[in-house]
Structures are given as structure tokens and as C-alpha cells.
Amino acid sequence: MARVRVRYAETDQMGVVYHANYLVWFEVARVEILRSLGLSYKQFEAEGFMIAVIDAHVRYRSPAKYDDDIAIEARIEALRGSLMRFTYRVMRVEDSTLLAEGETTHIVVNKTMEKTALPQHYAEAFRNLMNG
């Protein structure tokens, strides 16, 4: 789980969080999944791999506003070869209001953007998290 505090720059003229910022928060939560496993996305890239987003969906439930303390839960829902799917729940910490839900689908690629299998040690760690 990741936590962020809504910054003023993340809000729009209506005083609510601009819709695209939820996708940024999804990324923050994905990186935290790696950290929770003792892994690093920086190291993943150093090994020659990247995780490209190929599909993203967000369902907005309630508006987040400036200075809200936000928790973003991320889960790995599917893992097959080079394909990964994550799901997310964004909650306001103060009152546990569900702000948004979403999912992203990714494909593992190498430095030349060619599809490749997820390295075995990452796949094992992700499967253990999914099954644990």
C-alpha cells in the first residue's frame, strides 16, 4: 500500500484531483509492491527490462481534494508469461471513502521494446505475493 497527500498542483479548477493523477498514483503503488518484496524497479530496468502499460481503466467514485491523505492499494491479479495485470483501490484515509478503483495491464519488454518473459526471480516473487 502506498500513501500520498494530495498536493494543490494535482487539483483542477473545480478543486478536485485531476483525473489523470490517479494513474500516477497507481504507478506509485506498483513500485511499492516491488519494494515490499525486497525488489526495485530501478534494478529491474538495470537488468534490461521494463513494464509497459498496454491498457488502463479508472472508475471514479468520489472526489479527492487538496490535502487529503490518500491510500492506494495495489494487487497483482494476473501473471502469465510477459503479461501482468494489477488492480487498485484509492481510499481517503480520514473516512475510508472509496475514491477510485482501477486496473492496468502491462507487458514486459526489453530495452528495444520487444516483448519478453518476466525474469524468473520476479515471477516467483509476484506469484508468492498473489498466493500469499
What pTM value is reported for the model?
Answer: 0.92
DSSP class of 10: G
Instruction: Work out the average pLDDT over 32-44.
Output: 91
Residue 22: name the closest of 14, 48, 30 by CA.
Answer: 30
Residue 74: name the closest of 91, 92, 93 by CA.
Answer: 91
Find the CATH number of the domain harbouring 112. Answer: 3.10.129.10
* Total domains in the fold of the chain: 1
In contact, 47 and 119? CB cutoff 8 Å: yes
Is residue 126 pLDDT above 80, yes or no? yes
Instruction: Work out the average pLDDT over 60-85.
Output: 96
Q: Please, which pLDDT band fits residue 132 given cuts at 50, 70 and 90?
A: confident
Range of the domain at 33: 2-131
- Which member of 12, 55, 67, 69 is catalytic? 12
**pLDDT value of position 31:** 93
The kind and range of the H/E element at 97 are strand 97-110
The grid coordinates of residue 2 equal: 502506498
User: Catalytic residue at 69?
Assistant: no
